[in-house]
Amino acid sequence: MIRKIAVQPEDFDTGAELAALSANAGGVASFIGVVRGDAGDRALAALRLEHYPGMTEKALRQMAATAETRWKLSGCTIIHRIGRLTPGQNIVLVATASRHRADALAATAYLIDQLKTKAPFWKAEECADGTVHWVDARESDEAAAKAWL
Amino acid sequence: MRILYFAWLREKIGHGEEIFTPPASVTTPRQLIACLRQRGGFYAAAFTNEALIRCAIGQEFQPLDTPLGTAEEIAFFPPVTGG
């Protein structure tokens, strides 16, 4: 079982991360979150990501452990960036590996849904006009996470 | 106990961490919020809308009415928005 959890300002190498998971797997599924170029109707200059050091890693490890119990996985990688990220940059990578596709596809969807509502990260949008706004939580994210219960 | 604040709560209060020994009558995060709000100023402003406040006790998400017990670290923050 491969498990990698990281919270870091640096970018990740998607190819290298997926290659690391593919050893002894039948398939690898992944989700990559990327900074959008807009905040609704305004142009976005950057996203600022803050987290709760210690609790974040603990929450991500718990999610990975639950996914490993629920699906037959051979590997699980979660990398979440923090700090100031500009449009087009990677925010998060969730990837899982399994013998057959159904497990990896479901586990990856589960993990990103859980991460959105159960990991202590907060985003602020830095707009091109100089204003900064904290992003509000979305009810649809909460509903998506609960649908797995 | 160590109290941590994140995101706009930290910005409104003006710092991210403090050490505070609440009175013995404070036994839940909700009561701790009420106690902090009584300081007025930035605290009263930050804790105006309790519906927007979430908390973690010992780095685990907990409802605001959870007993604090012997918790050494409690954090207040808005709903999370990662991913």
Q: What value of ipTM does the predicted structure carry?
A: 0.95
Asked whether the predicted pLDDT for residue A24 surpasses 90, the reply is: no
CB contact under 8 A, B78 and A122: yes
Task: Say if the Cβ atoms of B61 and A91 lie within 8 Å.
Answer: no
Number of cross-chain residue pairs from A and B with Cβ atoms under 8 Å apart = 67
- Within a domain: B83: no
Name the residue range of residue B34's domain: 2-77
Q: How far is CA A25 from CA A2, A12, A98, A99, A117, in A?
A: 11, 21, 5, 5, 29
Reading the block at residue A37, the tokens are 């170029």
R_g over Cα of chain A = 16
Distance CA A96, CA A14 (A): 13
The DSSP secondary-structure symbol of A131 reads: -
Token pair of A16 as six digits: 């290298």
The two structure tokens encoding residue B80: 């999370």
pLDDT surpasses 90 at B58: yes
Question: Nearest by CB to A52, which of B6, B79, B81?
Answer: B6
CATH number of the structural domain spanning residue B18: 3.10.20.30
DSSP A120: -
Handedness of CA A96, A99, A103, A109 (dihedral sign): positive
Round the average pLDDT of chain A to a whole number and report it.
96
Is B82 among the domain residues?
Answer: no
| Domain presence at residue B24 | yes
Is this model's pTM higher than 0.90 or not? Answer: yes
Measured between alpha carbons, how far is residue B40 from residues A70, B30, B44 in Å?
Answer: 48, 16, 5
Residue A1: pLDDT band with limits 50, 70, 90: confident
> Given CB atoms, is A66 within the 8 Å cutoff of chain B?
no
| Residue B55, in any domain of the structure | yes
DSSP B33-53: HHHHHTT-HHHHHHTS-GGG-
- Tell me, yes or no, if A115 comes closer than 8 A to chain B by beta carbon: yes
* Helix (H) / strand (E) containing B5: strand B2-5
Q: Which of A91, A118, A122 sits opposite B77 (nearest CB)?
A: A122
Inter-chain touch B82–A124, beta carbons under 8 Å: no
Indicate yes or no: CB of A122 within 8 angstroms of CB of B56. Answer: no
- Looking at the predicted structure, is the pLDDT value of residue A40 above 90? no
Q: Is A116 on the interface with B (CB under 8 A)?
A: yes
- Domains annotated for chain A, with CATH where assigned, are 2-146 (3.90.1170.40)
Q: State how far the Cα of A98 lies from the Cα of B49, in Å rounded to an integer.
A: 45
Nearest to B80 among A91, A112, A137 (CB): A137
Three-state DSSP at B58 gives coil
pLDDT (tens digit per residue) in B38-47: 999 999 999 9
Beta strand spans in A9-120 (E): 27-34, 38-39, 42-51, 73-81, 83-85, 90-98
CB contact under 8 A, A116 and B4: no
| Assigned domain for B54 exists | yes
Does any domain span residue B48? Answer: yes
Number of domains in chain B: 1
Distance, CA of B1 to CA of B20 (rounded, Å)? 5
Residue B70: inside a domain: yes
